[in-house]
Structure 1
Amino acid sequence: MTSWAIVTWAHCLVHNFAGFLTVRILIAATEGGFIPTCLTYMTRWYKTTEMATRLACFWAAQNLASASSGLIAFGVFRLEGTLGLEGWKWLFIVDGIITHVVGFMAFFYVPSSPMRTAGKLRGKKGWLTERQSRIATLRIFRDDETKRSGDKHVSLKDILQAATDTNLWVHLIITFLGQMHETPIYSYLPSIIKDSGFATTTANLLAAPAYIINLIFSVIIAHNSDKRGNVALHAIIGSAWALLGVCLLEFLPDTADRWSLYGAALFAASAPSWHGMQIAWMSANLAPNGKRSIALAAVIAFANINGVPGSQLYRKLDRFMVKILLYEQKVLLFSWTCRGG
């Protein structure tokens, strides 16, 4: 977190396109391992039947940050011209400083596992008593015996097992295709709202509800999935919601007023995420721990790589791509159903 915090506030030093590309490449390199590491870390604390809810909460925090970013940007952009810096540079400076603080606190406060909660900012007694630590650890081992080898390093054998696992590749394909439509909607939601006829600051504020709706429904659906099982059935809710949202964007008349356009974009962008449930499902069916770690990194990589074709989905010259997306969503629905869960 410290390294990507440095790169984040380093955006204020950018003065040309080459510098911009450099910091964007560095920020991708420095934050690339953050989510896979967090996912692996969470498997040390939670049972199989608890992971979907926790992962939904994990991404809910990201949605909360996205919702807050519009509000923060609304205030930070008012620093335009201060010390000769543009408003967007001040936004990266603030973001970088906050990341520095959180990274520093996490280093001294977050324990490595339920068995090691004492020390540093956690105090001599730690988060858990000795008895509580044993209970917390044993319940994880009883749920999945392969997690006893959690401290072992990833081996070449683990990499080869992950690379040749057809079930893992099914999950990677579902991730790549199923989340492709989210890239343009999430990345450009404020711009979409602005193009509908709203001012820039208003568009940033109007984008926030989509993230909040997504957050709430994603956690509710994931929690019910943990409680009742059948991940596929619960995942279809988010996929069907997204399909309906894309249909609204595709077939809404060009003469529609700005609030109708906003409503369609809001509905499409607020579709509940099934990604956390899918990862929990995948993680529960992969062993040993090293192979699981590789798989978690791979699924996050595919969730990001799909942004390359995803960014081209809604260009005016390529409207047929939207129709391909509709068929893709149908394939996703069938994929989830056929795999069971």
Structure 2
Amino acid sequence: MEFNKEEFEKSFDEVFEQKSEEINSQLDRKILITMVGDVNCGKSSTINKLMKEDIVSVGAKPGETIHIKEIPYKENIIFVDTPGLDDVVKENTEVTLKYYKNSDVILFFLNAAGTVLSENELNNLKEIEKVSQEIIIVLNKIDAADDIPALVKYIQDHTEYKYPVTPISSRTGENIIMLQNKLLDVLEKKSKDIMFAMNLKEKASIANRWILAAGVSSAAIGASPIPGSDFIPLIGVQVGLMLKLSTLYDKPISKENAKELLIATVVGNAGKTIFRQIVKIVPGAGSIIGASVAGATTVALGYAIKYMHENNIDLQVEHLKPIYEMLLKKEKEKEKQQNCDGDDNDDNNITSV
């Protein structure tokens, strides 16, 4: 089976439109992130550190947070500060529970320097999980506590390992990226992660996350036993990655430019009229070699685009291609080294036996 230029372009156009629509639909959605915890648990400072901007006033005193407070951020993100249910004015309990139910994610704060997961806090958590299970437990102030792993295990044991526990310090910024990733995990399930990601100041770790995930997906496609059948899925992964990175860095890319970049790099057949089976594009498709090459080409493409966006280099073929080829060479060398290390380990295991 062969893919001619017209078929390729038609398939590319369909994939580009589909991926563009998926991303654009995210940008119209609202994100509701609700915070719950005592006044001294560092909710406000955590949000400020996460977004790298003073969007929430800090220094609330006991008794001040007895009502729900909405904190809009940009156009489509709303942070909601709520007290524990035991501190809520009784007539507001139903309203508070409604916020929890409608939230995309709930950040349940605990103070590592205080009494971690007190009876009241555990009761609050049990009431909240009746209306929502999209909960991330944030163990803050780890810079002022000892034996954090023991505290994390204590929380996990007493919450039946239902929710991720993220130990952070909103004062020093330790593990803020971990919290960012946990939030993205939840929002990705709701198709709202791109909207949240593009509003974060720290974009490099998000780009890396997307690039590596796309590499894994491409490797799985490259290992397909039927060369040629997964040509379109591979394009879908790579086009989706290009569009996500361009959205993340707020550097729009046109369909024609994206097509040209993909042909000149991954496909490698710019100017030719015939696009052959995917085995021609991904040598060894249907094998471990095919998987590694498919993953390597996607990862190299992603890192090249990321590099250019971060360094304000125009996303043109003549600029992208040398960077892509350099990164692709590195990815292949890394893959080769990993395979060699694996062979050495196998040899060692045989020897030890």
TM over 0.5: no
Normalising by structure 1, report the TM-score: 0.27
Structure whose residues are more often helix by fraction: 1
Normalising by structure 2, report the TM-score: 0.26
Structure whose residues are more often strand by fraction: 2
